[in-house]
Amino acid sequence: MADVFRRAGQGFRERMAGTLDAIALKVMDCIERCRTPALGGVAFRCTGCGHVHAVWKSCGNRHCPSCQGAAAHRWMDRQADGILPVPYFHVVFTLPRPVARIALQNRKTVLDILFRTAAETLRTIGADPARFGARTGGTAVLHTWNQRMDWHPHLHCLVPNAGFDVGTGEWKVGSDRFLAPVMVLASRFRRRFVEELAKAHADGRLAFHGSIAHLADPRAFAREMKQVRQTAWKVYAKRPFNGPEDVVRYLGRYTHRVAISDARILAFDGETVTFRWRRPVSKPGDRPTYGTMALTADGFIQRFLLHRIPKGFHRIRHFGILANGCRARTLQAVPDSSRRETPPETGDGAGTVEETREDRPACPKCGAPSEPVLTLPERPGENPEDVLGPIRKLVRQRGPPRSGGAT
C-alpha cells in the first residue's frame, strides 16, 4: 500500500488538484511518511552481530494499514476484561444502495443515523417483554467497503444475549442459539432509519449533488423513500462464539480494518495495482471463491480514499448497557464479575517507536535482540540507507552501546 502511494501519490495529487479534501491529503501524507526517515526513529545495534539498523516511527493514522495491526492488539487487550461470560451474536446491518448513495455525500449525518438506529433496533427488540424482555447493549463497528473497495456502508455489531430484566432489574442470560428473527430486526431497522433520514432532510441537514441532486426536492425525496421502504433491507445474524477469548479475537478482526490490507495486494508495476478479492457467498456455510482485480494507480488510490472517516467521527461505539457511561456499572452488577472498566479509545496522531515495535527489536540479520543507540531526527525525503550510512560509522566509533537507551 505505502509503495503505491509513494510512487503514484504525487501524480494523483496533481491530476486531482482542487478535488481532494484535507482529510484525503492527510491520509496520503501519513501513509507515504509512515515508517520512513520522514518521521524519525531510533537506531539500534544488534547485541549479537553488531549490525546497526533503524526502527522508524509510525504515523498512527487510523487509515494506515501498517499501523492498524498493532492498534487492534492494543484495543483487544483493553477489551478483554469487559467481555461478559454470556452468549454473543454477530449482527450486521447494511444500507441498501439508494441510501448508500445519500450516505456517500452526507457521511457524518447518515452514518450517525446508521449507528443510532441499529443500536435502537437491538435495544428495543431486546426489551420487548414478548421476546427477551431485558435492557441490552453491545459494540458496533463501521465498515464502508466491500472486497473490491466499492462504497458499501454496513455496521458490525457484537451483541451479548444478556441484560437486566425490564420488570425486575435482575440480570438474565438468553439462549446461545437464537437472538431475534432477522426479519423483525430488518423491518424495525428500515422503519426507524427512514424516519430519521426523512427528519434530517426536513431539517436541512442533507446535501445532494450530481446524479442525486434532484433529491433535494422534498417530493422527489419522498418518492425515493417510498421505494426504499418497499425494498428488503439486509440484516445478518451469526451464531454465537466458543467463549470470551473467541469473542475478543473475532471482534479484533473487524475493529481496526481498513479498506484493503497489504496482504491482498498482489502486484504494482508503477501504473497498475492488482489485488485479490473474495466473492460474496450465496448463503452462510458456502465455500468462498476468490478473484483478482486490476486498477490503475489513480483508480486504486481514489477507491481507497473513498473510505476516509470524517474528522472526529468514532468508528467504534458501545451502546446500551455497554455504553461508556454505563459499562462500569454493568460489569459490577453482573454476578461473579470482577472485570474493570476498559480505557477509552484513542484517536489519530503520530505514533512512537514504543507504540509500534518492541523495545528490543530482533536484528534483521541474525535475529538477536538489539539495543537503542541513537535517536534519529526527522529527515523528510531521504533514503533510509543514506541516513544509516553515517550513523553506522558513528556507532562503530562510539563502541558498544551504553546502558540507558537512546540518546
94 closest CA partner among 160, 190, 178, 199: 190
334 closest CA partner among 86, 89, 120: 86
Contact indicator for 375, 369 with CB cutoff of 8 Å? no
Half-sphere exposure of residue 21, counting CA atoms within 13 Å on the CB side? 8
Cell triple for 332: 459490577
Q: For residues 39-57, b (16+ Cβ closer than 10 Å) or e, as one string?
A: bbbbbbbbeeebebbbbbb
So what's the pLDDT on residue 30?
A: 96
Q: How far apart are CA 251 and CA 159, in angstroms?
A: 11
276: which strand partners? 292
**pLDDT for 235-266, tens place per residue?**
999 876 676 667 777 777 778 889 999 999 99
Q: What is the pTM of this model?
A: 0.86
- List all residues 6 or more positions away from 243 whose beta carbon is below 8 Å from its beta carbon: none
How do the domains of the chain map onto residue ranges? 2-62+351-398, 69-259+306-333
So what's the pLDDT on residue 328?
A: 83
Contact indicator for 23, 310 with CB cutoff of 8 Å? yes
So what's the pLDDT on residue 284?
A: 66
Question: How many Cβ atoms from other residues are within 10 Å of residue 89's Cβ?
Answer: 23
Cell triple for 111: 452514518
Q: For residues 177-202, b (16+ Cβ closer than 10 Å) or e, as one string?
A: eebbeeeebbebbbebbbebbeebbe
Helix (H) or strand (E) holding 226: helix 218-229
126 closest CA partner among 117, 118, 135: 135
CATH of region 69-259+306-333: 3.40.1310
Helix (H) or strand (E) holding 194: helix 182-202
Q: How far apart are CA 144 and CA 295, in angstroms?
A: 19
316 closest CA partner among 115, 150, 16, 123: 115
Contact indicator for 299, 170 with CB cutoff of 8 Å? no
357 closest CA partner among 55, 48, 54, 63: 55
**pLDDT for 112-127, tens place per residue?**
999 999 999 999 999 9
| pLDDT-flagged residues of the chain (< 50) | 337-357, 403-407
So what's the pLDDT on residue 351?
A: 45
Q: How far apart are CA 340 and CA 332, in angstroms?
A: 8
The angle, 0 to 180 degrees and rounded to 10, between the axes of the packed helices 22-33 and 2-15 is 140
Q: How far apart are CA 24 and CA 346, in angstroms?
A: 20
Contact indicator for 366, 344 with CB cutoff of 8 Å? no
DSSP summary character for residue 39: G
